[in-house]
Amino acid sequence: MPSWPVDLPAIQELGLQTKKVRSTVRTGLSMGPPKVRRRSTTTFTNVAIPFSLDNFQKERLENFIDNDLKGGSVSFTWEDPTSDATVNYRLTKEPQFRLVSGDRSRVDRRWVARLDLEIIP
């Protein structure tokens, strides 16, 4: 299983978002309140992580996702932003990139990226 590349930034706390995904099922009934039951005891945590990247780091991140993670089909290990433990992550959607500075020169470009991941229990 691949690990987060050391030449990419570590998790930046500012702007980090986490959300527990409960594993319940709601069933509507013809009368009375809906029934709710637990689907499983496993819960997932979704994590949205913002990054500030230079052009080299943006290309490195795209290469990591395309080649090492096989387009997002393979999970990877990295630190948990809330516990600092090493956990398994999987992409939930393609990263978003926004150009924030720079001109036609590829060297001077700065990007803000957002990774949407889930922590796999």
Q: Where are the domains of the chain?
A: 17-120
The DSSP letter of residue 14 is T
Binned average pLDDT, 10 residues per bin, the chain of 121 residues: 92 80 80 81 85 92 96 93 89 93 78 92 82
Residue 89: what pLDDT? 94
For the entire predicted model, the pTM comes to 0.80
Distance CA 38, CA 20 (A): 14
Residue 70: what pLDDT? 94
Concatenate the DSSP letters of all residues of 39-93 into one string: S-S--EEEEEEEEEEEHHHHHHHHHIIIIISGGGTS-EEEE-TTT--EEEEEESS
Distance CA 75, CA 15 (A): 23
Residue 47: what pLDDT? 92
Summary count for the chain: helices (H), strands (E) = 1, 8
